[in-house]
Amino acid sequence: MKLLITGANGQVGRELIIHAHDFQHQAIATDQHSLDITCLKSIEKSIQEHQPDMLINAAAYTAVDQAETDHDKAYQVNAEACLYLAQACKSANIPLLHISTDYVFDGTQRTPYVETDNTNPLNTYGASKAKGE
């Protein structure tokens, strides 16, 4: 399987690349310099060029404290870009796996969170990631 992985220079992205190879998948690693996920045309071009079987989005604006003052950039990368990725994947008829964060929850629940639990982010980073979901 050919995987197009965004955010390949980040912690999650690096691990995805390693494990893709472990399972004999071809991983196409992209970062913010090789693929601008905030631009639909850039995503479409990359999908057309690489013809992946699946896109895994590990890219994120992860500067949690800085997001409090850089709202626009956090929402652009963590929310708007997810819409563009979904649109491009839908057009190309390939699945999109989007990786989020536990920051979308407030941490008050006494049992482990699941995907269907209500979110209640406490900061801009968490709110921007929740919007991207």
Token pair in block for residue 58: 């590990």
* Among 76, 70, 65, 84, CA closest to 123: 65
Contact 8, 31 (CB under 8 A): yes
Query: CA angle, corner 39, sides to 103 and 67, nearest 5?
Result: 30
- Residues 130 and 123: their CA atoms lie apart, in Å, by 11
Identity at 53, one-letter amino acid code: D
Residues with a catalytic annotation lie at: 125
